[in-house]
């Protein structure tokens, strides 16, 4: 079974600074997807960034980027120029790649990010 | 384009009762998944439906069941409610299950409180 571990229950960062959230995972699969989701107080899960395991290049989305280390099974999220709106719970998630019929996401326990004005 | 809609947003039920939660996916999406979120257990996968067929099921007792209709709308049902069923229930939809480039879009959830 796949597991996802987020070892930082809480993190804080000064506005405009950079913060990195850690995630490790365990799987015997060679092909899979990794995601970072954000859950603000509104409770809606919002996709932040996605990484396909077969791609060596790290994914980036504006101020968000990942450091994907497949051999180490590590998938960290870097948020640059932190903004007040980034305050939320961040979840790392794993999904096995299948041609059809596998949408199951395995989530980590989350990291609560606080932005200090 | 409307997002994933879950109804109701809040629900209070008594132990022993049953409850039905509804999820309307994004138009055109045919895959719907359900998750339970609690402070103690975190986010746990309940089940996944595609074209009215359950394709995957998490490790939950038989009191938890679901179904999907021909218009892709999904319902989940919990019978004989227990206090431990109090949770945020999240629904997610996607357009092409399992394929490259697709992602799950989540609704705002239904907060169920069992008293």
The answer to whether the CB atoms of B33 and A103 lie below 8 A apart is yes
B64/chain A closest Cα distance in angstroms: 17
Q: What separation in angstroms does the CA of B56 have from each of A17, A33, A115, B84, B102?
A: 41, 18, 38, 23, 18
| Residue B97 reports pLDDT greater than 70 | no
Task: Please give the Cα distance from A104 to B58 (Å, whole number).
Answer: 9
| Residue B96 reports pLDDT greater than 80 | no
The answer to whether the CB atoms of A107 and B43 lie below 8 A apart is yes
* Predicted pLDDT at A116: 97
List the single residue in B with minimal CA-CA distance to A48. Answer: B103
* Predicted pLDDT at A30: 87
Task: Please give the Cα distance from B115 to B80 (Å, whole number).
Answer: 12
The parts of chain A modelled with pLDDT lower than 50 are: none
A90/chain B closest Cα distance in angstroms: 12
* Predicted pLDDT at B91: 97
DSSP structure class, residue A6: -
* Predicted pLDDT at A99: 60
* Predicted pLDDT at B83: 97
Chain A residue numbers touching B45 (CB-CB < 8 A): 104-106
Chain B residue numbers touching A45 (CB-CB < 8 A): 90, 92, 106
> Could you tell me which residues come within 8 angstroms of residue B63 by beta carbon, excluding any fewer than 6 positions away?
B78, B79, B80
* Predicted pLDDT at B1: 65
Closest by CA position to A34, among listed A110, A106, A114? A106
List the single residue in A with minimal CA-CA distance to B34. Answer: A104
Dihedral angle computed from the Cα positions of residues B68, B72, B73 and B78, in that order, rounded to the nearest 10 degrees: 20
């Amino acid at each position: 079974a796949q597991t996802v571990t987020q070892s930082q229950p809480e993190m804080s960062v000064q506005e405009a600074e950079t913060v990195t959230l850690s995630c490790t995972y365990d799987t015997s699969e060679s092909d899979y997807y990794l995601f970072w989701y954000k859950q603000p107080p509104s409770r809606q899960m919002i996709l932040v960034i996605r990484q396909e395991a077969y791609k060596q290049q790290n994914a980036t989305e504006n101020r968000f980027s990942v450091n994907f280390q497949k051999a180490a099974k590590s998938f960290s999220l870097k948020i640059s120029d932190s903004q007040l709106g980034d305050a939320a719970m961040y979840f790392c998630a794993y999904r096995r790649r299948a041609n059809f019929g596998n949408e199951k996401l395995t989530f980590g326990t989350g990291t609560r990010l606080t932005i200090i004005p | 384009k409307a997002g994933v809609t879950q109804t109701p947003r809040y629900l209070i039920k008594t132990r022993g009762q049953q409850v039905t939660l509804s999820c309307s996916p994004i138009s055109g999406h045919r895959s719907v998944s359900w998750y339970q979120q609690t402070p103690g257990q975190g986010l746990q996968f309940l089940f996944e439906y595609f074209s009215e067929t359950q394709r995957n099921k998490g490790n939950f007792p038989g009191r938890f069941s679901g179904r999907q209709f021909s218009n892709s709308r999904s319902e989940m049902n919990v019978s004989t409610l227990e206090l431990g069923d109090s949770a945020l229930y999240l629904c997610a939809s996607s357009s092409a299950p399992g394929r490259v480039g697709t992602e799950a879009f989540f609704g705002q959830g239904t907060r169920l409180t069992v008293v």
